[in-house]
Amino acid sequence: MTTEPISEPETTFRSSKGRTSLVVLGATVFVVLGAWMVIDHTTVKATVMGAVAVLFFGLCDCLAIGRLLRRRPELVLTGEGVTHVMLGSIGWTEIAEVGIREIKVRSSTQRVIELVLRDPVAYLARAPRMARIAGKANLRMGFSPTNISATTLPVDAETVVAAMRRHHPELRVRR
């Protein structure tokens, strides 16, 4: 088993403008609905739910708009590892395995590429702030702290995992 970098040219994935625009549209609709619930004041519960919706979906909106405006790629794969816009850089030696996880929320399913790390605590100590916050929450729920959403990528999760295997053939893929 070798840990030498593969001479494969880097693989770059930019955000899908169409998919990201749909995320912006959806988040904006929920911000407007939440604001309407706050303004309407029908019940305390509705007002609180509206405020939470405005805050949460407002953050989602800001992140998605940032992805639309960003010039750098969403995800870059090289012989050394993975560089994700939110997660930062993770070397292949840090990744024990990858898998595609489906997260069901009510009637919809979101697919994420889960990077199972050998030492999640070491990663979280150096991770970017937003990745650290989300990663700790993921750990508390029993997931890996490093998940790459396939929603805003221009290709499906299987294509990304196949590209990861091209860059690091020894990579274990959980089915």
3-class secondary structure per residue, 31-73: HHHHHHHHHHCCCHHHHHHHHHHHHHHHHHHHHHHHHHHCCCC
Averaged over 129-155, what is the pLDDT?
Answer: 89
Residue type, 1: M
Torsion region of 41: left, alpha or beta (phi above 0 gives left; psi -120 to 50 gives alpha): left
pLDDT digits (tens, 9 = 90+) for 105-114: 777 888 899 9
Kindly give the pairing relationship between strand 75-77 and strand 81-84: antiparallel
pLDDT at 4: 55
Q: Which of 149, 3, 1, 7 is nearest to 64 (CA)?
A: 149
Averaged over 35-58, what is the pLDDT?
Answer: 89
For tokens 């992140």, name the residue: 63
Threshold 0.75, pTM exceeds: no
* pLDDT grade for 143, boundaries at 50, 70 and 90: confident
Cα torsion angle, 37, 38, 41, 46, sign: positive
**CA 42 and chain centroid, separation:** 36
What is the average pLDDT score of the chain? 88
* pLDDT grade for 75, boundaries at 50, 70 and 90: very high
Q: Would you give the DSSP letter of residue 149?
A: E
Are 167 and 83 contacting, i.e. CB atoms less than 8 angstroms apart?
Answer: no
Neighbouring residues of 152: CB distance < 8 A, sequence distance ≥ 6: 15, 16, 19, 20, 23, 64, 67, 74
C-alpha 131/C-alpha 140 separation (Å) is 14
